[in-house]
Structure 1
Amino acid sequence: MVTARAARRFPLSDESSASATTLADVLHSRAFRITLMSVAIVVVVALVAVVVAAVVVVRRPLPQTGGTVTIPGLSADVTVTRDARGIPTIGAASTHDLFMAQGFVAAQDRFFEMDYRRHVTAGRLSELVGENEDALEADKVIRTFGWRNVAEQEWQLLEPSTREALQAYADGVNAYLKGKAPSQIALEYTVLGLQVHVGSPEPWDPIDSLAWLKAMAWDLRGNYDDELERATTYGSVRDVAKVDELFPTYPQDLNAPILAAGDETITTQTALHTDEVDLGGDAVQAAFAQAQAAMDAVPHLLGVGEGIGSNSWVVSGDLTADGHPILANDPHLGISAPGIWMQVGLRCTTVSSGCPYDVSGFSFAGFPGVVIGHNADLAWGLTNLGADVTDFFLERVDGNRTQRDDEWEPITTRTEVIKVNGGDDVTIEVRETAHGPIVSDVLDLAAVSDAPLPDGSARRGYEVALAWTALAPGRTADAVISIDLAKDAEDIARVGRLLEVPSQNIVFATADGHIGYQAPGRIPVRAAVVGDVPSDGTWPRPGWDSAYDWQGYVDSEQMPHATDPEDGFIVAANQQVTPAGQGPFLTKDWDYGYRSQLIREGLEDLLADGHKVTVADMNTLQTDEHNPFADVLVPSLLALDIDDPYDDDGQELLRTWDHVSSADSAAAAYFAAVWSTLLRLAFADDLPDGHGPDGGSRWLEVVRGLLDDPDSPWWDDRTTPGVVEGRDEVLTRAMVTARNELTVQLGTDATDWRWGRLHTAAPEHPVLGGSSIPGLVRDFVNPDPIAVGGGSSIINATAWNASEGYDVTAAPSMRMVVDLGDLDSSTWVNLTGSSGHPASNHYADQFGAWAAGETFPWPFTSAAVTADASRRLILRPEAASSS
């Protein structure tokens, strides 16, 4: 059957076109319901006409990528070349023109993505998509946070050069939008127009760019999920020590921190005595449940949960084939169509103090500059530091006031009006305490203000407020612009002082041979308070006791950093930064380091016997699929006897398995099923509903510890009265159950199973990808799923949630390897493609290569970029055009 997907295969250039036919005409045409069995000539003609009309409609928003376009506001011609994958390199004579052209090109390729993001970050999603419960809940929470309000306050804090870049970028976006109907800008507006009113998009504002940084900070915020999970788990087990068993200490004797032992400054904390706080009461647990629901309502533009992290490493030139450093980076974020990153090169035609940019890498559509990449002097990569920058404060509330020590303080309020496209306005009252916005009542869930307190009083209730460093104005935008000009460790240190949220590990390498690491971020200092519940940020805090208030922030000069370490390489993959007790306190909730240790060991293996590493070696290491879960668990599984030969089929696969979770591995499929079943049997009965184990590195460390304790109460399944299960019984049952489940899913013959049949990457459009969208449109905007290998805590980190299924939930959102000795020998690949237009040839043209672990050449020098160019567009000032 012919569908609109055929439009993507038409041999036409990515140029815009116009048609009076609307997508509504196409979708409602009978021709789309006529099968190829039809033989009547009139039916065939109608079918062809409708398909042609569909092609015109879906291709209308494709931008002009060749010839000349006049843009008022430019001071001179700007050249935009694009390579075979549509990746732009922009050359301009001035900084203003460079960023203005970047805004123009971003709008050409990704404006709907930008528009969607700004509606989300301003709490205005309902204005875009209409009456939708999820959109309205998201708007309520984000208005409560006040992301855009904070962004507006940041504007005056920024360097004049940063404000100029943001304004020039906005001017470029608006130059592209001027005079265009929504259907000329993006297909998504045409589809939305079938259900809601769609007018011309409002002009882009620099604050729209700044607000995007809040969404980035939110998804990379650290241990917020662990903090709430501790509190809700406590509601089930009622024992702090027992809860802590599910959050073990980082195994630094097994998995190395980023930095080795050294003379780091220790941030001291003063021990204080205070009242104890009972987190187990019904009122408290109800408040936490409301807070969790509010947090879950926020759309995740970068991704959230198991697998959100990154790999990065840098190797000294002493250990490389060409004698210069090599840097690798692949951030692990949620998968979407289009992908999160937009590749771009930004080049001043003559690099000078007046126009200093010569940088290439990965940017965010909607923000000027390059976020991760390299210039001629320095390459850098980012991974999530995971610092604890949020705390939930349990507040004692009496009407419109909250307790603080022996006094009661007023709760501040503000009114927010949410406009709903095609519906009535929704008004909410946002309340804030001294600690931050109250999030526990933002979704109008069941009130808890009348529930009794642990002390027996029924007069007051509990609410939950969120303290988060990103809710204070900062200068992260300065950091993004500044890093593009960095040349050495001193420049990176300055960037580290500016990059307040989200806190990211920065690894870097310089063309003159140095490698280094810098931890940036605005990190709260917490006092050590004596009580039943730890006061280190791992648990919610009693807001009525000022001893629990933040005591300031870690001095940026104390943040961990290193240059040219003795072993010649640095690995930063979300693990603990410094050995325990050294450096400032950052968090206790690290990734547990199995992935980072695999990278470290992979580098050590490559360097054995004097081998000098290459870019190709780094590309291979980025896609390594060795499974550390198998190293821990398979020996115990093979030690057990399964008598039935049918039940034993899966276990037999493990006997010869190399512990590599490749897409074509039968053993990897079986092991994944055993792992998820084991977690369910051992822990689901002890945890609150909706809080099942996600199967990530924390759970690997939990199970590793329990394997040496066969009679631990955690093994016992409380749903089987009168029976007390131990380790061996649970492991055996997990293997037998997994065999039966995979028989249903993949067939009787275990040797025919394949991990990739269970584990697929399926990027989804954020607005048009859901089940409520007509299948024709959904198929067109969502790339076909691809079977992939890898998994959670594997270097090729295609994460999955063991409580929800095997589909990929987060993955390497891009991969890059930079050779500082020959920048043109560097490589890169994006998750999907450079374009946000589903009809473009470049919407998902990198997806297959990404899934296969392949990368593309990354030209940087002027000669290489020119040789690689397949399209050339001149952006011309209005005066020059008229003359």
Structure 2
Amino acid sequence: MLAAMLLLVVALIATVWTYRVLVLPQTEGELRVSGLSAPVSISRDAHGIPTLRADNVEDLMFALGFVHAQDRLWQLETHRRIGSGQLAEAFGESALETDRFLRALGVRRTAQAQWEAVQGETRRVIEAYAAGINAFVEQHMDARPPEFLVLGLQPGRWEPADTLAWATMMAWDLGANWNAELIRMRLALSLPVQRIQELMPPYPGEQPLPLADYAALYRSLKVDGKLGQHALNAAPPSGIEGLGSNNWVVSGQRSETGHPLLANDPHLKLSAPALWYFARLEAPGFKVAGATMPGLPVVVLGQNEHIAWGFTNTGPDVQDLYLEEIHADDPALYRTPEGWARFETYEETIRVRGRPEVKLTVRATRHGPVISDAPSAGTDGLTGPREAPRYALAMRWTALDVPNTSVEAALAMNRASSVQSFIEAAALNIAPMQNMVVADREGRIGWVAAGRVPLRGPDHDLKGQVPAPGWEARYDWVGYLDPALTPREVDPARGWIATANQRIHGPDYPHYLGSEWALPYRQERIEALLQARQRHDLDSFAQMQADELSLATVKLMPFLRRAQSSHRLAAPVQALLAQFDGTMAAQRPEPLVFWAWSRHLTEGLLADEVGPELLERTMVGSRNYRDAVEGILARDDAWWCDDKRTPQVTESCQDQVDAAFHKALAELEALQGPDPARWQWGQAHQARAEHRPFSRVKALAPLFELRAPVGGDTYTVNVARVSLRADATTGERYLNEHGPSLRALYDVHDPSRSRVMHSSGQSGIVLSRHYHDFLERWTKVNYVPLWAPPQAQGPTLRLEPAR
């Protein structure tokens, strides 16, 4: 019996070892593959970062697709399924709602139309990239990554349109304000416009936009408030409040080297593996290194022989929602300024794992896809009874335009040789709109906000803030802003440029870009740190990227310090807070106290007016209402501070501050024990890199997702956005699931000094040491070299054209 068990254990170990050998990428030797015109070499350094060398750009991008498939095949599969709305086929009924929304939005259908318009080198590059992915899959069906085995799936074929669909989904995450429109519409069913403007206030120092009374408009249209209770509950995450990125660049006059230096840390949802994949690409006339993204055949952020560049999200208003009136007697018709028109219709079939397939008819109007055709999507109830709706809700969005030249723009940026040529290349970008900083070897620095911006006419009295009546021509877009007229700056006299999702133009610039800016705390801190020393180097830039002082916390701390409570821990906690300077260090208790207090305060001030369900839904992903809370406390606003659920008592703002403090103390004592000095922010505020889908499987989550305690918060330069909503799987609050997905520091004059880091590791295969070997460096704000010296190159795999 014992011998049999030993044999079984040995057999199991041998099987796992053999599987690991087969599933990890081949990194040396020679492979013959179909689709190449000439040999390609792939050399990997000790960090798993490949250097690809080819005789032409098409073969180079074939090799990039090949290595993406080697290391990130499951990630590519999820990207393909997201873009095509095919998640339920893999994950079952829990993903059906998302698929319905994506089919209604028509991402993959539009991507196919966009692909048919792509020409020239861009078309050849996208085709070569897809061929590289498929070449790997066809030759390596014997050992699929663990996710395929657990779920019993085979990788799908990557089509060129899948690249464009994934680019659109990135634009969705970075350019979506549609949910802010829906929030305002939902709130207008119970609040006047003035109160909504206080809840979702304008950028600091600005006045609210002069809008028509949209609350009265929706009453006149008979949008039933009782039908809006589940609004937004199921909408895919989007919105820009709390999302962010930082970039800055200094000229030679402000650097220790006498040449420009550039820093960038884009903030995205943390995932395992990370969204980014480092690579170095070399072909005659083409040499670039940096962060690629599986699914796209370009270096998205990086450096070539002449320039370095970095992005932050601009956050423009590039989406408008329209209420389309449906004909009372013929639901195939909707109202337009010229009369009744017929909906375009598309039949969709969604395969659902373990369940019968689902048939779905989706529609489009002259404005775009009808997103309310997705049952139970975030629009449920806002457009009338589902069995006989009075309105449909359609979306106009720049990313769905045909043609779309964003990939062409990225390729041109990879080739750019100067600040000027980079800005010219950026003019081709459609979506997402980004604040692009750039520096070149000639010593110039620049910035341009690049992306397609819709123009709204002067009689558009809703200004894209809320869904508009689709049958009124005055709410239609009247064109697009000339790309040469977007905000930009080249070689400013101060010697530096920085962006952090703040308002990027002055009050005199026309209202082209909208008003959904992030609060300016990160920008203010970056500017202070840039001006704190006359000359910077990459080490000072690294210190800036690690900075954890929260100016937003500093602003509200006087209110917290005045909080009173009968809780036995109130005095020792206030003693700690008396010395707190707003630095959100992971090992300290004060940041934990502050965020617990601010969460309870937000709920106490807003839940009675907004509704606890809507507040819980929107406090993360859409906005956290910090600007509203600041305004209420600054005004000592009795209307908001009174809890209207207790009519016999009129609560003051100080009452709310005190009650929130008491609740926070009780919560934290239960969470981390009776000694406040031992509470730690990082114990609750853990960076969690979610694995799709195994983070939602309790037994598998510890194996596949990545976690680490971190400091910072939503408003620090070292961003670690705080999730106020309880996690659906674990119940945890204050998790950090959105942060610096990538950090990069570039020396344009001496690229060997450039350094980068992302949040997981190069591999997406959990059995690889490169699955998580960047995590510790990332948490400590350390880096690896962007360009590897010759002696650092490891084993080389040679791809040969098949005979």
TM-score band, normalised by shorter chain: over 0.9
The partner residue of 1:736 within 662, 683, 687 is 662
Match of 1:437 in 2: 369
Match of 2:516 in 1: 589
Aligned: 1:819 with 2:741 = no
Q: Is the 8 A contact 1:759 1:789 kept in 2?
A: yes
Amino acid at match of 1:823: P
What's the RMSD between the two structures over aligned residues? 2.8
Aligned: 1:869 with 2:797 = no
TM-score, normalising length: structure 1: 0.84
Alpha-carbon distance in 2 for matches of 1:310, 1:782: 23
Alpha-carbon distance in 1 for matches of 2:362, 2:40: 46
Match of 1:580 in 2: 507
Alpha-carbon distance in 1 for matches of 2:658, 2:5: 61
Q: Is the 8 A contact 2:289 2:302 kept in 1?
A: yes
Match of 1:34 in 2: none
The partner residue of 1:601 within 528, 531, 552 is 528
Amino acid at match of 1:277: L
Aligned: 1:632 with 2:555 = yes
Q: 1:280 to 1:582 in 2, by over 3 A?
A: same
Report how far residue 100 of structure 1 moved.
1.3
Q: 1:494 to 1:157 in 2, by over 3 A?
A: farther
Q: 1:285 to 1:467 in 2, by over 3 A?
A: farther
Match of 1:847 in 2: 775
Amino acid at match of 1:493: I
Amino acid at match of 2:148: Y
Q: Is the 8 A contact 1:388 1:586 kept in 2?
A: yes
Match of 2:489 in 1: 562
Match of 2:730 in 1: none
The partner residue of 2:181 within 227, 234, 243 is 227
Match of 2:137 in 1: 177
Alpha-carbon distance in 2 for matches of 1:121, 1:586: 26
Amino acid at match of 2:282: R
- Secondary structure at the residue paired with 1:60? helix
Match of 2:650 in 1: 724
Match of 2:589 in 1: 666
Report how far residue 647 of structure 1 moved.
2.1
The partner residue of 1:745 within 658, 671, 676 is 671
Alpha-carbon distance in 1 for matches of 2:754, 2:220: 54
Deviations along 1:628-668, one digit per CA (max 9) or x if unpaired, are 22211112222345566532222221101121101101111
Deviations along 1:131-169, one digit per CA (max 9) or x if unpaired, are x22322222211111112211222243340111111111
Match of 2:421 in 1: 491
Amino acid at match of 1:874: R
Q: Is the 8 A contact 1:666 1:754 kept in 2?
A: yes
Match of 1:17 in 2: none
Q: 1:547 to 1:273 in 2, by over 3 A?
A: farther
Amino acid at match of 2:310: G
**Gaps in structure 2 of 5+ consecutive residues:** 727-732
Amino acid at match of 2:514: T
Match of 1:537 in 2: 464
Report how far residue 515 of structure 1 moved.
0.7
The partner residue of 2:256 within 318, 321, 327 is 321
Match of 1:243 in 2: 196
Q: Is the 8 A contact 1:286 1:448 kept in 2?
A: no
Deviations along 1:541-591, one digit per CA (max 9) or x if unpaired, are 111212111111111121111101121111111111101231552011110
Which stretch shifts more, 469-478 or 698-707? 698-707
Alpha-carbon distance in 1 for matches of 2:656, 2:505: 37
Which stretch shifts more, 60-69 or 506-515? 60-69
Match of 1:553 in 2: 480
Alpha-carbon distance in 1 for matches of 2:229, 2:564: 43
Q: 1:470 to 1:553 in 2, by over 3 A?
A: same
Match of 1:508 in 2: 438
Deviations along 1:327-363, one digit per CA (max 9) or x if unpaired, are 1111111111111011101011xx3xxxx21000001
Match of 1:768 in 2: 694
Aligned: 1:787 with 2:740 = no
Deviations along 1:658-682, one digit per CA (max 9) or x if unpaired, are 2110110111111111111111111
Q: 1:561 to 1:448 in 2, by over 3 A?
A: closer
Report how far residue 217 of structure 1 moved.
1.0
Report how far residue 486 of structure 1 moved.
1.1
Alpha-carbon distance in 2 for matches of 1:279, 1:432: 26
Q: Is the 8 A contact 1:526 1:549 kept in 2?
A: yes
TM-score, normalising length: structure 2: 0.93
Counterparts of 1:275-354 in structure 2, within 5 Å, are: 277-278=217-218, 283-285=223-225, 292-293=232-233, 295-296=235-236, 306-348=241-283, 351=284
- Secondary structure at the residue paired with 1:424? strand
Counterparts of 1:357-506 in structure 2, within 5 Å, are: 357-398=286-327, 399-405=331-337, 407-443=339-375, 461-473=390-402, 474-506=404-436
Amino acid at match of 1:178: E
Amino acid at match of 2:321: F
- Secondary structure at the residue paired with 1:413? strand
The partner residue of 2:498 within 571, 588, 600 is 571
Percent of residue pairs bearing the same amino acid type: 32
Amino acid at match of 2:123: R
Amino acid at match of 1:633: L
The partner residue of 1:833 within 753, 761, 784 is 761
Q: Is the 8 A contact 2:586 2:709 kept in 1?
A: yes
Alpha-carbon distance in 2 for matches of 1:541, 1:686: 24
Q: 1:279 to 1:147 in 2, by over 3 A?
A: farther
Q: Is the 8 A contact 1:396 1:460 kept in 2?
A: no
Amino acid at match of 1:185: R
Amino acid at match of 1:395: E
Which stretch shifts more, 331-340 or 720-729? 720-729
Q: Is the 8 A contact 1:247 1:698 kept in 2?
A: no
Alpha-carbon distance in 1 for matches of 2:220, 2:764: 48
Amino acid at match of 2:271: S
Deviations along 1:738-760, one digit per CA (max 9) or x if unpaired, are 11110000010100000001100
- Secondary structure at the residue paired with 1:212? helix
Amino acid at match of 1:72: S
- Secondary structure at the residue paired with 1:225? helix
Q: Is the 8 A contact 2:289 2:786 kept in 1?
A: no
